[in-house]
Amino acid sequence: MTASKGLVFLVGAGPGDPGLITVKGLECIKKSDCIVYDRLASPRLLVNAKPEAELVYVGKSPDRHTLNQEEINRVLIEKALQGKTVTRLKGGDPFVFGRGGEEAEALIEHGIPFEVVPGITSAIAVPAYAGIPVTHRDFASSFAVMTGNEDPTKEDSRIAWDKVATAAGTLVILMGMSNLQQIVDKLIANGRPADTPVALIRWGTRPEQKTLTGTLEDIAEKARAANFKHPAIIVIGEVVTLRDNLKWFENKPLFGQRVVVTRSRHQASILSQAIEDLGGEPLEFPTIDIAPPADFGPMDEAINKIDTYHWIIFTSVNGVESFFERMRALKKDIRDLKGISLCAIGPKTREALENFGLTCDFVPGEFVAEAIIEGLKDKEMAGKQVLLPRADIARKVLPDTLKQMGAQVDDVVAYQTVKGSGNAAQLREMLNKKQIQMVTFTSSSTVKNFVELLATPDYLQLMEGVKVACIGPITAKTARNLGLQVNIEAAEYTIEGLIKAILEERRA
């Protein structure tokens, strides 16, 4: 008995910015059993795959192929014949010089069903990110997209240079850097004025985006002088002159910054989104994860006698969420907290409590344990019963000082902070290639686990030239103790405060 045939989605991933994936393309990634992806598809899209999904890299570049096209076709066929749902994730659009048509034909030969999910082609997205519209009422009412892979000097060219040279207002040429000199010579020889503006855009829509402008007459020499290489697209036409006024991506405050986010995966989105909104590219490398306590016994005992407490002090959003999750498990709710004073270490923790319909009695001005202690000094804590539901690795300064103040403290583990699952090999490679500009730390545990996950004695060498941003003094102290140079330290110990500090440093 043979397995039923699977289904293959030929998905365009867009030109590089993962935010440019289509809604349908993202849905395909999420539900597939196997993702076959190339080098121009953002690796950040892969975090949306199912944990058990098989990831197959088939990256190709002009000078090196991991697999050739026939081998890629075989991979798609083999995985589909195993009954798997497969997403073939391709940079740009699968049918715009993406060889998606060839892959579709191979699938048809084997009777494998497939769907095509169009993507945003680099031919229009990359110029747009460089401030160049491919059409404009005052400059160009048409545009043409061409391959630059073909040698323009060969006699049997499929490109009618005598026609395309002047047929469209804007010419967009993909994969043409190695033939740039021959391309501009051919265009000039066939009637395109030598002073026609040209833009070369490398790694468009990514932090590495670089744009070089010139004319048909001088652009090849400028590219040689700047060592400007693939992957890049060539834009030819008067629309290039609009770039000085319309460039927007490069004007964002975090443009050119790839920033590592070390928070747990389920918490990273707020910081990642803020970085992305400001023009940076967040790279999520979760160094911590949140897990239930090894033993619910102490927490359950505290909840079952909840009416005996005078204060409950929450030192994190995770503590709030874990506490109320356990309350629900024990068939209790917020009515059982009547008469108990509540303390939250900061605005986000207070907000988490407010989401449960609760009002905080005390939030310190500074968001550290020492500030809680200072604020509770005039609360007559002697003899008071205090519950501290928090992480297993939390500092002892808070319970120890409260006990010195005469309070009876139950310091119970609400959740464990365990080592995260960041892709250390990928991060080491990117650090080594100087593709990371900044690393953010939001707790001491993120710092410690970052170093442990890198798992290399030369981590300080890898971090040379990389800026370190810490959410506050405790985290910064841990980083310095591990030999890291702290460049940015937030004055307000929140994600918003961290972003503010990063922007201030960029403006300095």
**Which residues are known catalytic residues?**
38, 60, 175
Report the C-alpha dihedral over residues 312, 316, 321, 322, rounded to 10 degrees. -80
User: In terms of DSSP H, where are the helices of 433-491?
Assistant: 444-454, 459-462, 473-481
Beta bridge partners of 90: 12
With tokens 């707020």, the residue in question is 270
The amino acid sitting at 382 is: A
- Nearest CA-CA partner of 392 in 477, 482, 288, 310: 288
- Nearest CA-CA partner of 41 in 60, 27, 23: 60
CA distances from 133 to 16, 59, 73, 237, 238 (A): 18, 29, 35, 10, 10
Diameter over CA atoms, the chain = 95
What are the backbone angles phi and psi of residue 478, rounded to the nearest 5°?
A: -60, -45
Which pair of structure tokens corresponds to residue 384? 């008071």
Per residue, what are the HEC states of 287-318?
CEEEECCCCCHHHHHHHHCHHHCCEEEECCHH
Beta bridge partners of 362: 343
Angle at which helix 424-432 crosses helix 444-454, to 10 degrees, equals: 80
Asked if 214 contacts 198 with a C-beta cutoff of 8 angstroms, the reply is yes
CB atoms within 10 A of CB 345: 25
CA 251 to chain centre: 20
The amino acid sitting at 43 is: P
User: In terms of DSSP H, where are the helices of 308-410?
Assistant: 317-329, 347-354, 369-376, 397-404
3-state secondary structure of 3: coil
Report DSSP state, residue 462.
H
Taking CB atoms within 8 Å and a gap of at least 24, the contacts of 65-70 are 69/99, 69/102, 69/103
CA separation for the pair 128, 145 (Å, rounded): 15
Q: What are the strands, taking DSSP E only, across 58-217?
A: 60-61, 64-65, 85-90, 114-117, 143-147, 170-174, 197-202, 210-215
The amino acid sitting at 487 is: N
